[in-house]
Amino acid sequence: MNDTRIALVTGANKGIGYEIAAGLGALGWSVGVGARDAGRRESAVEKLRAAGADVFGVPLDVTDDASVAEAAELVAERAGGRLDVLVNNAGVTGGMPQEPTKVDLETVRTVVETNVIGVIRVTNMMVPLLRRSASPRIVNMSSGVGSLARQSASDDPNVTGPVAVAYSPSKTFLNAVTVQYAKELRDTGILINAACPGYVATDLNGFRGVRTPEQGAAIAIHLATLPDDGPSGGYFEDAGVIPW
Ligand code: NAP
């Protein structure tokens, strides 16, 4: 079996996911660039290869069972049925504003389907491959706006994000999901953690963020490369633990 570490990053065609793929590629890993759009996926793969990374495109829509099953097959073919790291990065805001009393319910459904159910769908399809890794890791890209402690302690939108009944609660839900996985997987060696990249300039926020995608990727790369005695079921940003 090939000793090169193998990772899959969802939503890796742009933004923070692209930089996570670039960062893991720079470590000499083989990285699956998960992306739903063929054109965007191939241009990301080409760019990453031009920078010297060992990457391969993985057609992947996290909201689609068949797409995720095919992605698992494709990843399995690369390294004898093994996956070392899964980064669940793909996410949507659903668009703003999202005031609770005025929201379109379809927005809430779409955001939860992508940011939460999509993560569960992809994770469950990849867990059999992760179980074959010596040091398996899962990183769920959450957000500080999912912290109920921060939401209740502050009204500053720089801390809490805008009032948003779909996006922020989807990340709170994702954090809770992360904890439950950590409990079930406690004795498997699979370490699973939630990450906040900070406020990063990407399409997601009309490039209003103040950090670069590369800076946003750093916490995910850190959690993807945790030692075997590293934490599981935690919620982290660059500065350390985020209060739930
Ligand atoms: P982005 O540039 O908009 O990238 C989002 C990625 O997710 C894109 O590759 C997008 O693909 C993909 N995606 C969306 N829905 C998908 C689906 N159904 N299946 C597969 N891929 C899908 O945003 P980003 O800022 O890099 O966000 C990455 C993650 O960081 C998200 O989970 C986000 O919530 C989180 N985050 C971001 C910030 C920030 O300040 N930017 C802060 C906290 C957390 P397409 O190109 O096909 O749309």
Which pLDDT tens digit goes with each residue over 43-57? 999 999 999 999 999
Catalytic machinery residues: 167
Q: Is the beta carbon of 126 within 6 A of some atom in ligand 1?
A: no
What kind and span of H or E run contains 241?
Answer: strand 240-241
On whether residue 1 sits in a domain, the answer given is no
Residue 74 confidence (pLDDT)? 98
Q: Which strand ranges, in their side-by-side order, compose the sheet holding 54-59?
A: 54-59, 30-35, 6-9, 85-88, 137-141, 191-195, 235-237, 240-241
Task: Please check the confidence at residue 1 and state whether its pLDDT lies above 70.
Answer: no
Please give the average per-residue pLDDT across 23-34, as a whole number. 98
- Cα-to-centroid distance, 11 and ligand 1 (Å): 6
Range of the domain at 191: 6-241
Protein residue closest via CA to atom 43 of ligand 1: 143
Q: Is residue 125 part of a domain?
A: yes
Mean pLDDT (the chain) is 97
**Is the Cβ atom of 14 under 6 angstroms away from ligand 1?**
yes
CA 204 to centroid of ligand 1, rounded, Å: 6
The alpha carbon of residue 76 and the mean position of all alpha carbons in its chain are separated, in whole angstroms, by 19
Q: Which whole-number Å values give the CA distances from 184 to 118, 179, 189, in the listed order?
A: 19, 9, 11
Provide the token pair at 239: 């500065």
Q: Whose CA is nearest to atom 8 of ligand 1?
A: 11
Q: Is the CB of 40 under 6 A from ligand 1?
A: yes
Residue 57 CB–ligand 1 contact under 6 Å: no
What pLDDT does 2 receive? 66
For ligand 1, atom 3, name the residue with the nearest CA.
Answer: 204
Q: How far is the CA of 187 from the centre of ligand 1 (A)?
A: 31
Whether the predicted pLDDT of 34 surpasses 70: yes
CB of 146 shorter than 6 A to ligand 1:
no
Between 67-71, 157-161, 233-237, the lowest mean confidence (pLDDT) is in 157-161
Is the C-beta atom of 16 inside 6 A of ligand 1?
A: yes
What is the number of domains present in the chain? 1
pLDDT at 113 over 80: yes
Ligand 1 atom at minimum distance from 145 CA? 43
pLDDT number for residue 221: 98
Q: How far is the CA of 224 from the centre of ligand 1 (A)?
A: 18
Check residue 239 and give its pLDDT.
Answer: 98
Tell me the DSSP string of 185-238: TTTTT-EEEEE---SB-SGGGTT--SB-HHHHHHHHHHHHT--TTS--S-EEET
Instruction: Dump pLDDT digits (tens) for 139-173.
Output: 999 999 999 999 999 999 988 999 999 999 999 99
CA 91–ligand 1 middle distance (angstroms):
4
23 lines ligand 1 (CB under 6 A): no
Encode pLDDT of 184-228 as tens digits. 999 999 999 999 999 999 999 999 999 999 999 999 999 999 999
Q: Is pLDDT at 106 greater than 60 in this prediction?
A: yes
Is pLDDT above 70 for 120? yes
CA distance linking residue 5 with residue 1, whole number of Å: 11
What's the CATH number where 61 sits?
3.40.50.720
Query: Would you say residue 217 lies in a domain?
Result: yes
DSSP 76: H
Residue 184 CB–ligand 1 contact under 6 Å = no
The rounded Å distance from CA 120 to ligand 1 centre is 16
Q: What percent of the chain has pLDDT over 70?
A: 99
Percent over 90 (pLDDT), the chain: 97
Residue 75 has pLDDT above 60, yes or no: yes
